[in-house]
Amino acid sequence: MKKLWYSLGLSFALMSAQAQVKPFQQNDRVIFVGNSITEAGAYVSYVYLYYMTHFPGKKIVIMNGGIGGDKASDIYRRLEYDILAKKPDVLILTFGMNDTGYFEFGNSDADKTAAERIEASRRSYQQIEQRLLQLPRIQKVLMSSPPYDETAKIGGNVFRGKHKAMLEVVKFQEAAARKNNWPFTDLFRPMTELNTRLQQNDSAFTLIGPDRVHPGNAGHLVMASLFLKSQGLSGKPVADIRIDAKAGKLQQAENCNISNLSASAGKVSFGYLAASLPFPVDTVARMWGNEQKQSDALNWIPFTADFNREMVQVGGLEPGEYKLLIDGQAIGKWPASAFAEGINLATLPETPQYRQAMSIMQLNLRRAEVEARLRRYYWVQGNFFDKKGLLLKDNAAALDSIRKYAKNDGMLRFHEENYETAMHKELRAAWQQEIDTIIGLIYSMNKPVLHKIEIVKI
Q: What's the pLDDT score for residue 16?
A: 44
Residue 433 banded pLDDT, cuts 50, 70, 90: very high
Distance (Å, whole) CA 303 – CA 9: 12
Is 300 a member of any domain? no
| Residue range 159-168, pLDDT digits in tens | 999 999 999 9
| Residue range 104-118, pLDDT digits in tens | 998 999 999 999 999
Distance (Å, whole) CA 455 – CA 317: 10
CATH code at position 69: 3.40.50.1110
Distance (Å, whole) CA 356 – CA 351: 9
**Dihedral over Cα of 378, 294, 71, 412: its sign:** negative
Same domain, 246 and 226: no
Angle (deg, nearest 10), helices 217-230 and 2-15: 50
Average pLDDT over residues 384-406: 97
The DSSP string of 81-145 is IIIGGG--SEEEEE--TTTT-SGGGGSTTHHHHHHHHHHHHHHHHHHHHHHHHT-TTSEEEEEPP
| Residue range 168-184, pLDDT digits in tens | 999 999 999 999 999 99
Q: Does the pLDDT of residue 295 top 80, yes or no?
A: yes
Q: What's the pLDDT score for residue 20?
A: 85
| Residue range 182-218, pLDDT digits in tens | 999 999 999 999 999 999 999 999 999 999 999 999 9
Q: Are 117 and 101 in contact (CB under 8 A)?
A: yes
Q: What's the pLDDT score for residue 13?
A: 47
Average pLDDT over residues 231-240: 97
Distance (Å, whole) CA 39 – CA 32: 9
Same domain, 43 and 140: yes
Same domain, 245 and 225: no
Residue 23 banded pLDDT, cuts 50, 70, 90: very high
| Residue range 41-58, pLDDT digits in tens | 999 999 999 999 999 999
Q: Which domain holds residue 187?
A: 2-230
Q: What's the pLDDT score for residue 375?
A: 98
Is 53 a member of any domain? yes
Q: What's the pLDDT score for residue 353?
A: 98
Average pLDDT over residues 13-28: 78
**Secondary element (H or E) of residue 379:** helix 352-380
Q: Does the pLDDT of residue 15 top 80, yes or no?
A: no
Single residue among 230, 259, 291 that ends a domain in this structure: 230
Same domain, 168 and 256: no
Q: What's the pLDDT score for residue 12?
A: 46
Is 280 a member of any domain? no
Q: Are 191 and 8 in contact (CB under 8 A)?
A: no
**Secondary element (H or E) of residue 375:** helix 352-380
Same domain, 339 and 416: yes
Residue type, 53: T
Is 284 a member of any domain? no
Q: What's the pLDDT score for residue 161?
A: 96
Same domain, 255 and 169: no
Q: What's the pLDDT score for residue 18?
A: 65
Distance (Å, whole) CA 223 – CA 63: 16
Average pLDDT over residues 274-283: 98
Same domain, 256 and 167: no
CA atoms within 13 A on the CB side of 191: 34
Single residue among 195, 212, 230 that ends a domain in this structure: 230
Same domain, 244 and 201: no
Is 113 a member of any domain? yes
Q: What's the pLDDT score for residue 8?
A: 54
Same domain, 144 and 262: no
Nearest 5°: phi and psi at 384?
Answer: -130, -65
Same domain, 142 and 266: no
Same domain, 208 and 264: no
Q: Does the pLDDT of residue 14 top 70, yes or no?
A: no
Q: What's the pLDDT score for residue 9?
A: 54
What is the percent of the chain with per-residue pLDDT over 70, rounded to a whole number?
A: 96
Counting the structural domains of the chain, the total is: 2
Same domain, 194 and 217: yes
Distance (Å, whole) CA 385 – CA 283: 38
Average pLDDT over residues 226-241: 98
2-16, 38-52, 146-160, 430-444, range with the lowest pLDDT: 2-16
Is 281 a member of any domain? no
Q: Are 75 and 95 in contact (CB under 8 A)?
A: yes
Is 304 a member of any domain? no
Nearest to 60 by CA among 19, 22, 20, 89: 89
Distances (CA, A) of 115 to 112, 121, 162, 261: 5, 10, 11, 66
Nearest to 273 by CA among 282, 263, 261: 261
Q: Does the pLDDT of residue 2 top 90, yes or no?
A: no
Residue 17 banded pLDDT, cuts 50, 70, 90: low
Single residue among 230, 262, 295 that ends a domain in this structure: 230
CA atoms within 13 A on the CB side of 417: 2
Mean pLDDT value across the chain: 95
Distance (Å, whole) CA 294 – CA 303: 11
Average pLDDT over residues 239-262: 97
**Secondary element (H or E) of residue 307:** helix 303-307
Distance (Å, whole) CA 344 – CA 333: 13
End-to-end distance of the chain based on CA atoms, in angstroms?
35
Distance (Å, whole) CA 186 – CA 206: 19
12-16, 335-339, 446-450, range with the lowest pLDDT: 12-16
Q: What's the pLDDT score for residue 6?
A: 44
Alpha-helical segments (H) within 16-87 = 36-40, 42-54, 72-78
Find how far residue 221's CA is from the centre of its chain.
6
Is 287 a member of any domain? no
